[in-house]
Amino acid sequence: MTDTFAQPSDAADAIAEQAARLRQEAHRDARATAEFSSVNPMAEMQHMVKVERDNALVECLSYVLDADEAAADAYIARWAAANGGDVETAAVRVKEQPSGTQLAQQREDAKIVGALREAGTAGLSKTALDRLIAPLGWRAQHYWLKEAIEAGTVIEQRHGRSTRYVCTTPPASLLAAPAVGGTATQG
């Protein structure tokens, strides 16, 4: 595009338009993929292609503007704002956007942690937790629990032969609840 007779500002606008549309498309596609499936290898591959294309557009735009990539990203966001595009989406590089699989994973993680929080101090049995983790896929089941225990999100409690899993963070209702009583004073 830089080898044409177009003015640099016209070339920059054309590149910014392509980048903004690509970022919006990647965002929309990731949401759609996450809505209908948890693991979609083809969608993951398409997301990676969009990452590479976005990188190429930013590199090309930075060349046209004779600026760094941060300035090119800012130019894309300004172009989107000036032309009625979604500024929030256009300002985020595709490589920084979660893929559909990552969004689905986050949604499933939130469901699992939510169920653990609701169970409170009684926790969930291994069988009940396995049912919640099952949508992640057979490979992810073991890793999810292992990572949650290592991160300190979940505690494994053994009582004789049974094992219970308890969430270490309080239920969302307790997090959102206002403090009861007066203000604390330090003395």
Sequence-ordered strand ranges (E) for the chain: 124-125, 154-159, 162-167
CA angle 31-34-35, nearest 5°?
A: 85
Say what the pLDDT of residue 171 is. Answer: 56
pTM score: 0.69
CA angle 79-84-89, nearest 5°?
A: 70
Instruction: Tell me how far the alpha carbon of residue 111 is from its chain's centroid.
Output: 15
pLDDT, averaged across the chain? 82
Query: Is 186 or 131 the better-scoring residue by pLDDT?
Result: 131
Q: What is the pLDDT of residues 76-86, one digit of tens each?
A: 999 999 998 88
Q: What is the pLDDT of residues 40-82, one digit of tens each?
A: 788 899 999 999 999 999 999 999 999 999 999 999 999 999 9
